[in-house]
Amino acid sequence: MQIIRSIKKIQSLTRQLASDGKRIGLVPTMGFLHDGHLSLIKRALKDCDIVITTIFVNPTQFSQGEDLSKYPRDEKGDIQKIKSAGGTIVFIPKVSDIYPDDFDSSVEVLSLTQTLEGESRPTHFDGVTTIVAKLFNMTRPDIVVFGLKDYQQAMVLKKMSTDLNYPIKFIIAPTVREKDGLAMSSRNKYFNEAERQEALCLSYALKTAKQMVKADIKDCKLIQKEMKAVIKATCKTAKIDYIAFTDFNSLAPTKVVVKNTICSLAVRLHNVRLIDNLKLM
């Protein structure tokens, strides 16, 4: 497995690989990897000869007051994990190379970024689309794999890629969960055992929503009310940022659960902000 830190090197290597006819897969991450990230690498390996995993804690997608400075890092452990998942290249660029002092550009998706995460974190998606466009230009992948866990992010990036004519196939891979239902996240590391139990409020709420839909209750207001009750019963101090019901493809809000409705939520608990989602139909 090759570890590359230089932008020039990754550009010349990927150009060479492409001219050798290799199919390149890309898995962008912020590191502190868990099985959810590794599932993306394994998925990319199914369709590609070469899988590039990037590790870059992207400062521009964090707003002031968010957890950039304490975001967990473990480069050595990450490299081992990527190797054991079968990854072929790890790209770990420096912040100063990605954003030199005179960096002055931004890639923006206009509409899809106005709701859900975009509403709670106004500058977040511009940071995400800009870094991913840069990574696309550096690695020129045939395929990219993102997690459904960050569903809106995947849809925003897909739109950016289509609008800017990147010839890249998008794969959105399922959310990997702990046995008890907690969606794997690098941020789970912030919790002690008792807090981690309370973090189950998100998956419990989504499970409740799914059960209600199965019982033919499809009014989003009713479902949301129950979800709020479940969250409060599991974690008294939880602060709900949003519980939203939208169409999977357009992200348009819906009042009634229909085919392709996805429920997304963001909750703050014990100074950590978690997100999760589940397709209800």
By the 8 A CB rule, do 184 and 34 touch?
Answer: yes
The residue among 190 and 212 lying less far from ligand AMP, judged by its C-beta, is 190
By the 8 A CB rule, do 98 and 61 touch?
Answer: no
By the 8 A CB rule, do 262 and 280 touch?
Answer: yes
Neighbours of 33 (CB within 10 A): 24
Told to check if 150 binds ligand AMP by CB under 6 A, we report: yes
Closest approach of ligand AMP to the CB of residue 196, in Å: 15
By the 8 A CB rule, do 260 and 247 touch?
Answer: yes
Closest approach of ligand AMP to the CB of residue 22, in Å: 22
Closest approach of ligand AMP to the CB of residue 84, in Å: 17
The residue among 212 and 275 lying less far from ligand AMP, judged by its C-beta, is 275
Report DSSP letters for 69-102, one per residue: TT----HHHHHHHHHHHT--EEE---HHHHS-TT
Q: Is 34 a catalytic residue?
A: no
Site size toward ligand AMP (CB under 6 A) is 17
The CA distance from 249 to 155, in Å, is: 8
The residue among 78 and 198 lying less far from ligand AMP, judged by its C-beta, is 78
The CA distance from 132 to 149, in Å, is: 17
Give me the sign of the Cα torsion angle 213, 210, 280, 202.
positive
Picking from 30, 26, 6, the residue whose alpha carbon sits closest to that of residue 18 is 26
Instruction: Single out the residue of 14, 29, 139, 152 in contact with ligand AMP (rule: CB under 6 A).
Output: 29
Closest approach of ligand AMP to the CB of residue 80, in Å: 16
Torsions phi, psi of 245, nearest 5?
-120, 120
Instruction: Single out the residue of 10, 13, 40, 48 in contact with ligand AMP (rule: CB under 6 A).
Output: 40
Distance set, CA 189 to CA 70, 71, 186 (Å): 11, 10, 6
The residue among 173 and 243 lying less far from ligand AMP, judged by its C-beta, is 173
Closest approach of ligand AMP to the CB of residue 276, in Å: 9
Residue list 167-206, contact with ligand AMP (CB under 6 A): 173, 175-176, 183-186
Told to check if 152 binds ligand AMP by CB under 6 A, we report: no
Told to check if 79 binds ligand AMP by CB under 6 A, we report: no
Q: Strand order in 143-147's β-sheet?
A: 2-4, 89-91, 50-55, 24-29, 143-147, 169-173
The residue among 40 and 48 lying less far from ligand AMP, judged by its C-beta, is 40
The residue among 135 and 173 lying less far from ligand AMP, judged by its C-beta, is 173
Stretch of 5-13, 29-37, 85-93, 245-253 lying at the interface with ligand AMP (CB under 6 A): 29-37
Q: Which residues bind ligand AMP (CB under 6 A)?
A: 29-30, 36-37, 39-40, 146-147, 149-150, 173, 175-176, 183-186
Residues taking part in catalysis: 37
